[in-house]
């Protein structure tokens, strides 16, 4: 990479424009917390410059700079439309600085809510995976039961898991257990179906290869069929994970006492739209982070694939 490619990028121009825009006088009567925005922008820029010095692959650098550039443009337009020209309703649309300041102010509350949401998701998800994968392996491998199981799982997975919530509330004592139950159901069927179809699609030649090695039945299932169908299992897991977030945040908006969905719903009921937007952004960041980590795990476990 030439030094021009590394350092002379449009993203940095956007950064300067964002700062220059902050020199304009505020027109909004509300607090705009411009300082928070400037501190945030400088922090992002410093991190980006540091990363630019170390990233080796040109594509990775371009990706990072494009994303950061997008954030600068978004913040510029946002602060122009709110704080600087007051085009939008300033109750419904807080200035970017206020959201950032809110983020800092509420950080402990936000962390508690994230921990609550993630705890429920992970618990329901892991329970589902631990039950669905072995069951899918076993039923998929036993051809006779497998056919019926495919149709049964199609039936149950066609029921949107959110409709279980009222019944779950009647059935289970706490909101937390209802949430875990619903996430369990939401994850179980896609993971189960993914495992089944993975098992049914394992290359005949791999099965033969294992048979001639005289592997025991548990070894056949867990050392051969499981890794051979892992890609499809992950497909089901990814599906389950994304449905889980939708469900959990919806459920939290209905009856929870904490969680990210609760945070958004609670403050929008009070007309505190700064916190509402803060909550939305946090949910986005958390979901991206979890998906990213999960994809890393998937890449690691499937590293033997071409």
Q: Which C-beta is closer to another protein: that of 66 or that of 208? A: 208
220 lines the binding site for another protein (CB under 8 A): no
Q: Is there binding between residue 205 and another protein (CB under 8 A)?
A: yes
Specify the residue, 54 or 304, whose C-beta has the smaller distance to another protein: 304
**Cα 60 from Cα 62, distance rounded (Å):** 5
DSSP string, 62-109: HHHHHHHHHHHHHHHHHHIIIIIT--S-TTTS--HHHHHHHHHHTHHH
213 near another protein, rule: CB under 8 A: yes
Output the smallest distance, CB 49 to another protein, in A.
37
Q: Which of 209, 284, 295, 296 binds another protein (CB under 8 A)?
A: 209
The interface region with another protein, picked from 36-44, 163-171, 252-260, 298-306 by CB under 8 A, is: 298-306
Q: In terms of Cα–Cα distance, which of 215, 208, 233, 218 is closest to 302?
A: 233
Q: What backbone torsions phi and psi does residue 123 show, to the nearest 5 degrees? A: -60, -50
Residue 218 in contact with another protein, rule: CB under 8 A: no
Q: Rule CB under 8 A: is residue 214 a binding residue for another protein?
A: yes
Angle, helix 58-79 to helix 96-105, in steps of 10 degrees: 110
Piece in contact with another protein (CB under 8 A), picked from 85-93, 132-140, 185-193, 200-208: 200-208
Kindly tell me which residue out of 49, 208, 257, 288 binds another protein, with binding defined by CB under 8 A. Answer: 208
Smaller CB separation from another protein, 203 or 269: 203
Question: CA angle at residue 299 from 296 to 300, to 5 degrees?
Answer: 85
Q: Is the Cβ of residue 131 or residue 231 nearer to another protein in the bound state? A: 231
Residue 206 is a binding residue for another protein (CB under 8 A): yes
Tell me how far, at minimum, the Cβ of 205 lies from another protein, in Å.
Answer: 4
Under the criterion CB under 8 A, does residue 135 sit at the interface with another protein? Answer: no
Please report, as residue ranges, which positions from 228 to 247 form the binding site for another protein (by CB under 8 A).
Answer: 228, 230
C-alpha–C-alpha distance, residues 207 and 199, integer Å: 10
Are residues 97 and 37 in contact, defined by beta-carbon separation less than 8 angstroms? yes
Q: How many residues bind another protein (CB under 8 A)?
A: 20
With binding defined as CB under 8 A, does residue 227 bind another protein? Answer: yes
Q: Please, what is the minimum distance in Å from the beta carbon of residue 136 to another protein?
A: 18
Long-range contacts of 289-292 (CB under 8 A, 24+ apart): 290/118, 290/121, 290/241, 290/245, 291/238, 291/241, 291/242
Give exposure, 109-143, as e/b (b: 16+ Cβ within 10 Å): ebeebbebbbebbebbbebbbeebbebbbbbbbee
The binder of another protein chosen from 56, 203, 269, 270 (CB under 8 A):
203
Q: Among residues 101, 165, 199, 224, which is the contact residue for another protein, using CB under 8 A?
A: 224
In the complex, which residues of this chain contact another protein (CB under 8 A)?
203, 205-206, 208-215, 223-224, 227-228, 230, 303-306
């Amino acid at each position: 990479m030439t030094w021009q490619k590394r350092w002379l990028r449009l993203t940095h121009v956007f950064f300067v424009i964002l700062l220059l825009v902050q020199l304009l006088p505020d027109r909004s009567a509300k607090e705009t917390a411009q300082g928070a925005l400037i501190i945030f922008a400088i922090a992002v820029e410093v991190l980006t410059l540091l990363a630019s010095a170390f990233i080796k692959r040109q594509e990775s650098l371009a990706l990072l700079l494009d994303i950061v550039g997008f954030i600068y443009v978004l913040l510029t337009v946002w602060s122009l439309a709110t704080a600087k020209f007051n085009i939008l309703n300033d109750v419904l649309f807080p200035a970017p600085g206020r959201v950032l300041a809110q983020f800092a102010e509420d950080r402990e509350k936000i962390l508690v809510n994230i921990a609550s949401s993630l705890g429920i998701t992970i618990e329901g998800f892991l329970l589902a995976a631990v039950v669905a994968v072995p069951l899918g392996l076993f039923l998929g491998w036993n051809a006779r039961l497998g056919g019926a199981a495919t149709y049964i799982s199609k039936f149950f997975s066609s029921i949107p898991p959110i409709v279980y919530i009222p019944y779950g509330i009647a059935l289970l004592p706490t909101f937390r257990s209802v949430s875990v139950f619903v996430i369990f159901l939401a994850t179980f069927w896609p993971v189960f179906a993914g495992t089944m179809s993975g098992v049914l699609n394992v290359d005949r030649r791999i099965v033969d290869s294992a048979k001639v090695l005289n592997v025991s039945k548990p070894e056949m299932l867990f050392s051969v069929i499981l890794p051979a169908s892992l890609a499809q299992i992950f497909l089901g897991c990814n599906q389950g994970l994304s449905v889980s977030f939708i469900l959990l945040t919806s459920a939290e908006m209905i009856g929870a006492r904490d969680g990210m969905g609760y945070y958004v719903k609670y403050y929008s009921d009070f007309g505190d739209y700064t916190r509402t937007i803060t909550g939305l952004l946090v949910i986005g960041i958390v979901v991206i982070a979890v998906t990213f980590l999960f994809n890393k795990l998937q890449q690691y476990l499937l590293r033997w694939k071409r």
